Amino acid sequence: MVYNKLFYKYRSLKEGNNSSTIINLANNQLYFDYPSNFNDPFDSRIYCFYEGTKEEIYEKTGINIDEINKEMYEEHNGIIKIDYRKLFIEDGKKNLHGDVLYVLYPKICCFSEVCDDILMWSHYADYHKGICLCFKSVKVNNEYCLPIGTPNSQFANIYFQRVGYHKNVPEPINLFDEDMKIKMHEVLLDKLLFWNYEQEFRIILDPDSDKRLLSEEMFEKGIIKYQKESLQGIIFGMKIKYENAELVYNTVKENYLDKGYVVKFYEAKEVRYKYEVKVDEIKNINTYLLELKHSDELHSLTLRDYIY
C-alpha cells in the first residue's frame, strides 16, 4: 500500500485520561459529528426552498396540495422545517420556504493540510497545550483516502475532500431539483473566507450513500475505526505539560508501538524572532519527556518562589 499526503487533526488534552482524544487514540478511531455542533454557527447551513408543480410535489413528498391542512403540515414537520403561514400558491406553483434540519445532514470529521498554524494550535489544541495527529492518506483514482473498518471487519476507503472559502453564503437550493443532493454536498464543503487559514479537508459520512460501509449504530455513534498504519505521527504542542505528553506516549506505545506499528513523535517549536511555529522530529522520545519533566518542575518551583 502506497501512502501519500499527510492530513492533520489538532486535539485538546484537557481531561487527561478521560479525554476523548486519548480514548479515540487508544482505539484507533475518529469521531464524526453533525455540523450543527461545530464552532461556526454558519457552517454547512443550507438555505433551501421547495418549488414545483402540484404533481412534482406529490411525486416527491406524497403530499396532495389540494388536501393540505395544518394537521398534515405538523405531521411532516420533522422533515420540513417551515412556518405553516408561509405555505402559499404563486403562479401555479407551490412554494415551501425554510431551512433543512441539521438532523438530516451527514456527519463530518475535520482535518487540515497544515500542522504549523498558530491559530489552529490555539483554537483546536488548547492554546498549544494539546497535540496534532498526523494521518497518512492512500491515493485512489487520484483522490486521497483513509482506510476504515466496516461492520464486516473488512476495510474500505473514505475520501478527504477540500473545503472552499468564499465571501458569500451559497445560493438557496430548490429541494425539488434533480441535482439537489450534489448542491447540498457542495454546501458542506463551503465556508466563510474568514476561515481560510484552516486549510481544511473533510471526510463526510452520508447515511444513505455510505450504508455499505457503516452500520446504523456506527453512524449514530459517529465512531469510525482507521487502520493503525494510517497514524504516521504525533506532534506535541509548544506548551504541553509533561503528564499529558507522557500519557500520549504511553497510549501510543501500548496500542501501536508494542504491536509493531511505527508512529513518529514531533514537537512544535517557536521560530525565534518570528510569529511562526516549526515542527521538528523528536529523535529520542525518552530524552524529550525527561527534559519536559524537568522544565515543568523548574517552572513549578519558580512559580512557588514567586508566590511566597
Confidence at residue 71, expressed as pLDDT on a 0 to 100 scale: 54
How does pLDDT run across 116-162, given as a tens digit for each residue?
999 999 999 999 999 999 999 999 988 999 998 766 656 678 999 99
Instruction: Report CA torsion sign: 24, 30, 31, 35.
Output: positive
Q: How many domains does the chain have?
A: 2
* Residue 148 shares a structural domain with residue 270: yes
How does pLDDT run across 157-197, given as a tens digit for each residue?
899 999 999 999 888 888 778 888 888 889 999 999 999 99
More confident of the two residues 40 and 73: 40
**Confidence band, pLDDT 50/70/90 cuts, at residue 289:** very high
More confident of the two residues 8 and 79: 8
Q: Name 81's Cβ contacts closer than 8 Å, sequence gap at least 6.
A: 98, 99, 100, 101
Confidence at residue 302, expressed as pLDDT on a 0 to 100 scale: 57
* Residue 34 shares a structural domain with residue 61: no
Q: What gap in Å lies between CA 203 and CA 38, rounded to an integer?
A: 14
Is there a contact between 50 and 80 (Cβ–Cβ < 8 Å)? yes
* Residue 55 shares a structural domain with residue 162: no
Residue 307 within a domain: no
What pTM was estimated for this model as a whole?
A: 0.83
* Residue 143 shares a structural domain with residue 229: yes
Confidence at residue 305, expressed as pLDDT on a 0 to 100 scale: 54
Q: What is the mean pLDDT of the chain?
A: 82
* Residue 95 shares a structural domain with residue 126: no
**Confidence band, pLDDT 50/70/90 cuts, at residue 52:** low
How many Cβ atoms from other residues are within 10 Å of residue 150's Cβ? 16
Where does residue 273 fall: left (phi above 0), alpha (psi -120 to 50 degrees), or beta otherwise?
left
Confidence at residue 96, expressed as pLDDT on a 0 to 100 scale: 38
Task: For cell 514567586, name the residue.
Answer: 306
* Residue 133 shares a structural domain with residue 222: yes
Q: Which residue from 200, 100, 217 is spatially nearest to 151, judged by alpha carbons?
A: 217
Domain that holds residue 62: 47-99
Report the largest interatomic distance among the alpha carbons of the chain, rounded to a whole angstrom: 81
* Residue 143 shares a structural domain with residue 273: yes
Confidence at residue 205, expressed as pLDDT on a 0 to 100 scale: 87
Residue 271 within a domain: yes
* Residue 234 shares a structural domain with residue 140: yes
Q: Name 87's Cβ contacts closer than 8 Å, sequence gap at least 6.
A: 68, 73, 94, 96
Residue 308 within a domain: no
* Residue 95 shares a structural domain with residue 117: no
